[in-house]
Structure 1
Amino acid sequence: MKKYYYEEHEKTYQEIKRDNLLAWDQYHDPVQYNFDHFMMKPFLERALEFIHVTSKASSVFEYGCGTGAGACFMTERGFHVDAIDISPTAIELAKSIAIERNLKINYSNQDLLEMSRLHKEYDLILDNYCLQSIVTDSDRSKLYSIIKSGLKSSGYYIIATAMFNEVRSYGADSYYCGDSGIVYERTPSPDQYNEAIRINNEWWIPKRRHLTKDQLREEITNNGFSILFQEDGNLVCMKK
């Protein structure tokens, strides 16, 4: 059975490789973004100033790292970075970019949700627009549990995620559930997905989770984190 979030991501990174691009943000908006100017970068810079973490000997874990824009940004500032992504093509590109930039980053092709826990503790854990693609309640609960297993008591969990936007248009092949914030995508092959559900006599699979600011804040705190700082979908958290 396919995991609902795998196919889109691997296909996109194959297209990024084919088109000689370097990053997810660049693929979706090449005018505004590139590898060195990724969407999370401005907030990440503010977050690092806010928490005053020294980079010397500080360890970072990034899940859903893609081609490594965030991982390279942190490594260039002296952090020791471990990073994973479910897409083998993304990790292939990330390793190549790191070699070209003479950066030592420990990349691996893994699905965070196939782990039971992280096997070491980190000073910082980063989510660079991965969270919105982890959609179901059970998957998000498991994700937060895994993060807590590998975050030092003095460590910080830094998140940037897409949010509900009342002017966003989802199109005919998408269905948005306002109560849960889940965006579903129509599927012709429901038997391939454990998470496929019937809505209005049609089959859909989870695509995104777009919460309001208050919904996201409640979810984060209910899953064992204290929020130190929040700008809509940008947060700095610690374990309670």
Structure 2
Amino acid sequence: MRYYHAEHESVYREIEKLGYTQWNDLFEHSGAWTYDHFQNRAFLERVITRLGLPAAAGTRVLEYGCGTGPAACFLAARGFEVDAIDLIPEAINLARRLAEERGVRVGFSVADVCALPAESVARYDLVVDSYCLQSIVTDEDRDAVFSAVRSRLGPDGYYVISTALYVPGRDAEDGFWYDASTGIYYREVPADSAADQLVEIDGRWYVPHRRHLSAEALRDELGAAGFQVLSLESSDAADVVCRVGSDEVSS
């Protein structure tokens, strides 16, 4: 089982069981965020306006790691033609129901963004990441995501990302270990865990859990992956706009 699968499967099954609508419903500190007023909504609103994306049929959007679909439904409600994928079937089933309740059409499907075909027939004007990248931890998997994005963006397309960043002074909680050299948080698991990417640290076993880079390291990573960073707004999270190319043009 991939290191990111078990946690996400468990969370979405819990969301389904409790009658919740989105990931943040499970966490008290995230109470300000709702399905229709999700965490990166304001960023997406700014992006749509700033980039002058026509909210009309024919403007195509792909969101990967969509969860239960708040961002996908938001974009579809504004007239975009949206496809959205997630690894977990329970998340996609709930996303379809919530989209139907809102009267919007989204092409939801179950797929692992780390295992998409390298080449794609479909081309998109916008590819959206709403806090998925932080759960894609290893270099190999992040390279696979970036390759999938590059092959799916149209020639004038944009890649927009919201992701957590490393915050100095934030210590790893019990049961976790942070590697400052890579930005990887590891989560402790039983020694007989079926997850891949098991790592032994001081006699305990861990799996990759999150990757929280500094803003500078994230910018460098995107540049090395073949993206031109057009803007990067940061605090304890980053909102990034980029496109395929090189030589960043703004901060």
Report the TM-score range of the alignment, normalised by the length of the smaller protein: over 0.9
Q: Name the CA distance, whole Å, in 1 between partners of 2:192 and 2:60.
A: 41
Q: Name the CA distance, whole Å, in 1 between partners of 2:10 and 2:59.
A: 34
Partner of 1:67: 68
Q: How big is the shift at 1:19?
A: 1.4
Could you tell me the TM-score, scaled by structure 2's length?
0.92
Amino acid at match of 2:49: E
Q: How big is the shift at 1:133?
A: 0.2
Partner of 1:97: 98
2:26 aligned with 1:27, yes or no?
Answer: yes
Q: Deviations over 1:200-235 (max 9, x none)?
A: 222110000000000000000000000111102110
Partner of 1:134: 136
User: Where do 5+ consecutive residues of structure 1 fail to align?
Assistant: none
Q: Is the 8 A contact 1:163 1:212 kept in 2?
A: yes
Q: Name the CA distance, whole Å, in 2 between partners of 1:190 and 1:200.
A: 16
Partner of 1:41: 41
Q: Deviations over 1:112-150 (max 9, x none)?
A: 112223331100000000000000011001110111000
Q: Deviations over 1:72-116 (max 9, x none)?
A: 000000000000000110001000111111111110011111222
Partner of 1:150: 152
Matches within 5 A, 1:1-240: 2-29=1-28, 31-56=31-56, 57-117=58-118, 118-190=120-192, 192-232=194-234, 233-240=238-245
User: Where do 5+ consecutive residues of structure 2 fail to align?
Assistant: 246-251
Q: Structure 1 segments of 4 or more deviating over 4 A?
A: none
Q: Is the 8 A contact 1:26 1:32 kept in 2?
A: no
Give the match's secondary structure for 1:192.
coil
Distance 1:36 1:238, change over 3 A: same
Q: How many residues align?
A: 239
Q: Name the CA distance, whole Å, in 1 between partners of 2:48 and 2:198.
A: 39
Q: Is the 8 A contact 1:184 1:207 kept in 2?
A: yes
Distance 1:215 1:190, change over 3 A: farther
Partner of 2:249: none
- Residue identity over aligned pairs, in percent, reads 38
Q: How big is the shift at 1:18?
A: 1.4
Q: How big is the shift at 1:27?
A: 2.5
Q: Is the 8 A contact 2:67 2:91 kept in 1?
A: yes
Q: Name the CA distance, whole Å, in 2 between partners of 1:239 and 1:83.
A: 21
Q: Name the CA distance, whole Å, in 2 between partners of 1:26 and 1:172.
A: 23
Q: Is the 8 A contact 2:115 2:144 kept in 1?
A: no
Q: Name the CA distance, whole Å, in 1 between partners of 2:24 and 2:37.
A: 9
Q: Is the 8 A contact 1:190 1:196 kept in 2?
A: no
Could you tell me the TM-score, scaled by structure 1's length?
0.96
